Amino acid sequence: MNPLNVIIVDDEAPARERLRDLLGDIASTQPTRVVGMAANGLEALRLFEETKPDLMFVDIRMPGMDGIELAQHLSRLAPPPQVIFATAYDQYAVTAFDLHAIDYLLKPVRAQRLEAALARARASKPVARDVLDGFAEPRRHFASSERGRITLVPISEVLYLKAELKYVTARTAEREHLLDESLVHLEQEFPDRFIRIHRNCLVARAAIAGFERDEVAEQWNVRLGSVVERLPVSRRQWPAVRAAVLNVELPD
Amino acid sequence: MTVRTMLVVNAFALMTVLLRGEHAAEFTQDIVEIAAQVEFPLLFALAVCYLFAPAIQRMEFKRATFVVAVISLFCLFLCLPILERFDLRPNPLRWSGWALAAVGITMIYFHWRASAATPAIAEARVLALNARIRPHFFFNSINGVLGVIRSDPKRAEHALEALADLFRALMQENRKLVPLGDEIDVCERYLELERLRLGERLSVVWELRHCPMDTYVPPLMLQPLIENAVYHGIEPSSEPGRIEIRIVRRGRELNIHITNPVCADGRQNPGNRMAQANIRERLALFFDIEASMENGQRDGRYVVHIRLPIKRENTR
């Protein structure tokens, strides 16, 4: 059997050690090679880019980005790795995993159980992306890969999303980030946070500071609080945008 | 008890004024007058009752009421000459009637309170409140011990000892107050286990310079609050954070401040207000309104402040 390349992701150092020890113990029946260990989601994504492992052990409860959100990002990468979740005690997550037949380990992990999980992982495909999206809480970060380096963009800081050629750019107050996502999917995934104002643009509802009339182009522009740019609202979207935004601010 | 008596009698006095005073203008005047007449004999009577408290507490309700009434009237008439010197000449007959009514109301109030919180119910509640530990913490601690058992067996040993001590404290019946020093030990054991898991992310500063270790406090009063501080302030953040615990004596009062960072970015751990409600309730059971607990945010940190009376002996 070929050894599987694995990454262990857990914010607690002794928990990482423990899993590595156990993988060593069962190497004769389930050979693995630990190619890296990470203490949080961002580290894990970067390690993944560097080492392209076959399998990742992911703790559910971690600071910043939890294990389920990490798995959502991993499932968008190519080729997505196998993910085995680990948790000490998370009733809701465990119920969801059972429901979707996703494998998980309960900490403290037993060697026997770990062997079974590895055998299953070899035989099956990674968990599909829409399954994860189905039960996970909304993502809180976009993963942006630029010049081979992954950065995480907190979704709460994104002012607007704009489709340009192949990519979508996410604008924060500081800068722009390239995302490998589609505007249509983003609109469906975050209907409460972003509103479509143009064929190529979604704006964060919270970022809208007001509207300005551009008499020359005969259209309305969105004014944003923290940046000077103006975003045109298409004539087609204007009634919906006005209804969604103004009715909240001007109750009669 | 003393404070509650004062509150009840004064509330009665206020009621009297409100019922009697027909003109708003006389209201303040009336309040001052009745306060002058009431407070002095009231304090005097309370002092005398306090002297006889052990005997009165053993009596049944009717008899105790009678004794307290006699004491109150006695004190009242002793105070008469003093009040006359201040030019207050209350009608002794009306005044006695009012005092007896005040005694009646106060006694009935305490009788009702006692029956509403009989020891059996109170203890049942204390016990139920103690049956709590976060399963997440338990399994992660065991996993932490397993993680270091090969590389650092000594550390694993200490951690298991700490876990045993912590569980012993959690499984006590906890009906009695414990010395503050013991409670702090329990917290140290707990923090030892958390340090094993969280490493450098957790730092704790104890400030105990003016802290009487021999004063008695409710068992497991500090530990759940420190556990909360770790759970909400340290765990959700990947940055290192500091928990500060300051315990100082101020007169006859013990003041405890526990603060932790407020995590702005991390997903907040799902909280339950169980621990705080639990401690507030037990403080009330042990100390009535002489103890209090407040919480809030100050300078970007979450603060819990407990105030309770210093107790040098272990009584309820």
Q: How far is B199 from chain A (nearest CA, A)?
A: 8
pLDDT of residue A251: 44
Q: To probe the interface with A, which of B137, B138, B140 has the most A CB atoms within 10 Å?
A: B140
- Three-class SS of chain A: CCCEEEEEECCCHHHHHHHHHHHHHCCCCCCEEEEEEECCHHHHHHHHHHHCCCEEEEECCCCCCCHHHHHHHHHCCCCCCEEEEEECCCHHHHHHHHHCCCCEEECCCCHHHHHHHHHHHHHCCCCCHHHHHHHCCCCCEEEEEECCEEEEEEHHHCCEEEEECCEEEEECCCCEEEECCCHHHHHHHCCCCEEEEECCEEEEHHHEEEEEEECCCCEEEEEECCCCCEEEECCCCHHHHHHHHHHHHCCC
The amino acid occupying position A141 is H
The closest CB to that of A17, out of B151, B237, B238, belongs to B151
Is A173's pLDDT higher than 60? yes
- Mean pLDDT along residues A133-146: 85
Residue-wise DSSP of B223-246: HHHHHHHIIIIITT-SS-EEEEEE
pLDDT of residue B123: 63
The answer to whether the CB of B92 falls within 8 A of the CB of B84 is: no
What contacts B199, CB < 8 A, 6 or more positions away? A12, A13
Q: What is the pLDDT of residues A14-29, one digit of tens each?
A: 999 999 999 999 999 9
- Mean pLDDT along residues B256-275: 74
Please answer yes or no on whether A88 and B135 come within 8 Å at the CB atom: yes
Reported as a pLDDT band with limits 50, 70 and 90, residue B150 is very high
Which residues in A have their CB inside 8 Å of a CB on B?
11-18, 21, 39-40, 61, 63-64, 66, 88-90, 106-109, 140, 154
Is A231's pLDDT higher than 60? yes
The closest CB to that of B267, out of A15, A40, A66, belongs to A66
What contacts A12, CB < 8 A, 6 or more positions away? A59, B140, B143, B144, B147, B197, B198, B199
Is A11's pLDDT higher than 60? yes
For domain A4-135, the CATH class is alpha beta
List chain A residues with CB under 8 Å of B150: 17, 21
CATH 2.40.50.1020 domain locations along chain A: 141-246
Is A133's pLDDT higher than 50? yes
- Mean pLDDT along residues A186-206: 92
Residue of A nearest to B137 (CA): A88
Q: How far is A38 from chain B (nearest CA, A)?
A: 12
In order of A183, A190, A221, B281, the CA distances from A203 in angstroms are 11, 11, 12, 48
Lowest pLDDT segment from A92-96, A107-111, B160-164, B288-292: A92-96
CATH number, span A141-246:
2.40.50.1020
List chain A residues with CB under 8 Å of B240: none
- What is d(CA B216, CA B14) in angstroms, rounded to the nearest whole number? 37
Reported as a pLDDT band with limits 50, 70 and 90, residue A76 is confident
pLDDT of residue A250: 47
Reported as a pLDDT band with limits 50, 70 and 90, residue B260 is very high
Instruction: Tell whether B86 is within 8 A of chain A (Cβ).
Output: no
pLDDT of residue A128: 83
Q: To probe the interface with A, which of B138, B152, B234, B238 has the most A CB atoms within 10 Å?
A: B238
Is B106's pLDDT higher than 90? no
Is B111's pLDDT higher than 60? yes
Specify the pTM.
0.74
The closest CB to that of B238, out of A14, A63, A89, belongs to A63
pLDDT of residue A111: 96
- Mean pLDDT along residues B256-262: 95
pLDDT of residue B314: 67
Helix, strand, or coil (residue B267): coil
Q: How many Å separate Cα A176 from the centre of its chain? A: 18
**Angle A91-A94-A96 (CA atoms, 0-180°, nearest 5)?**
110
pLDDT of residue B48: 81
Q: How many Å separate Cα A73 from the centre of its chain? A: 4
Chain B from 181 to 220: CB within 8 A of any A CB = 196-199
Instruction: Tell whether B41 is within 8 A of chain A (Cβ).
Output: no
Lowest pLDDT segment from B41-50, B124-133, B195-204: B124-133
Reported as a pLDDT band with limits 50, 70 and 90, residue B129 is low
Reported as a pLDDT band with limits 50, 70 and 90, residue A57 is very high
Interface ipTM? 0.77
Please answer yes or no on whether B147 and A15 come within 8 Å at the CB atom: yes
Average pLDDT of chain A? 90
Average pLDDT of chain B? 82
Is A167's pLDDT higher than 90? no
pLDDT of residue A252: 40
Reported as a pLDDT band with limits 50, 70 and 90, residue A83 is very high
Please answer yes or no on whether A88 and B235 come within 8 Å at the CB atom: no
User: How many percent of chain B have pLDDT more than 90?
Assistant: 37
Q: What is the pLDDT of residues B157-209, one digit of tens each?
A: 999 999 999 988 888 776 788 999 999 999 999 999 999 999 999 999 999 98
Is B143's pLDDT higher than 80? yes
Is B267's pLDDT higher than 60? no
- Mean pLDDT along residues A52-60: 95
The answer to whether the CB of B184 falls within 8 A of the CB of B213 is: yes
- Mean pLDDT along residues A220-230: 88
- What is d(CA A104, CA A93) in angstroms, rounded to the nearest whole number? 10
- Mean pLDDT along residues A179-194: 90
User: How many percent of chain A have pLDDT more than 90?
Assistant: 60
Q: How many Å separate Cα B102 from the centre of its chain? A: 27
- What is d(CA A81, CA A58) in angstroms, rounded to the nearest whole number? 11
pLDDT of residue A44: 95
CATH 3.40.50.2300 domain locations along chain A: 4-135
Closest among B276, B273, B201 to B237, alpha carbons compared? B201
Is B14's pLDDT higher than 50? yes
Q: Which residues pair with A233 in a beta bridge?
A: A220
Reported as a pLDDT band with limits 50, 70 and 90, residue B121 is low
pLDDT of residue B146: 95
Reported as a pLDDT band with limits 50, 70 and 90, residue A12 is very high
Reported as a pLDDT band with limits 50, 70 and 90, residue A243 is confident
Please answer yes or no on whether A66 and B198 come within 8 Å at the CB atom: no
